[in-house]
């Protein structure tokens, strides 16, 4: 398995708009083969911050999802709303509630 944690910082005052686009991406991931978890949340310590947690069957599955036309369209719309990205961590999930054994 392949996992990612990452933080987006929205342009000032644009968090809810960016959040809506990221939630649309999360909805699309339900149909993407290899995506086991895609969770979007508001940062509690940053009015412009959004955290994303992802778990994939493999890094290859994750990379493939970035090439999908729907994903590319969402990236095009969301990119201007992003002031920065930080806190990106890659990890290897080994199990837990919500993940298949």
Determine contact, residues 30/51, Cβ cutoff 8 Å: no
* pLDDT at res. 99: 80
**What is d(CA 47, CA 56) in angstroms, rounded to the nearest whole number?**
28
Distances in whole angstroms, Cα of residue 86 to Cα of each of 49, 51, 58: 10, 10, 22
* pLDDT at res. 87: 85
State the DSSP string of 35-77. EEEEEEEE-SS-TTEEEEEEEES-HHHHHHHHTSHHHHHHHHH
Per-residue pLDDT reduced to its tens digit, 43-93: 999 999 999 999 999 999 999 999 999 999 999 999 999 999 998 999 999
Name every residue whose Cβ is closer than 8 Å to that of residue 10 and which is 6 or more positions away in sequence.
17, 18, 19, 48, 49, 50, 81, 82, 83
The mean pLDDT of 24-52, rounded to a whole number, is 95
**What is d(CA 68, CA 75) in angstroms, rounded to the nearest whole number?**
11
pLDDT above 70 (res 101): no
Give the domains, in start order, of the chain with CATH numbers: 2-91 (3.30.70.100)
Q: pLDDT tier at 16 (50, 70, 90 boundaries)?
A: very high
């Amino acid at each position: 398995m392949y996992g990612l944690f990452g933080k987006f910082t929205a342009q000032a005052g644009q968090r809810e708009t960016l959040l809506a686009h990221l939630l649309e991406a999360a909805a699309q991931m339900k149909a993407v083969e290899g995506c086991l978890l895609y969770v979007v949340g508001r940062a509690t310590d940053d009015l412009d911050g959004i955290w994303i947690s992802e778990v994939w069957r493999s890094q290859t599955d994750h990379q493939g999802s970035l090439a999908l036309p729907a994903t590319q369209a969402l990236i095009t719309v969301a990119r201007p709303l992003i002031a920065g990205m930080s806190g990106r961590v890659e990890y290897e999930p080994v199990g837990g509630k919500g993940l298949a054994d």
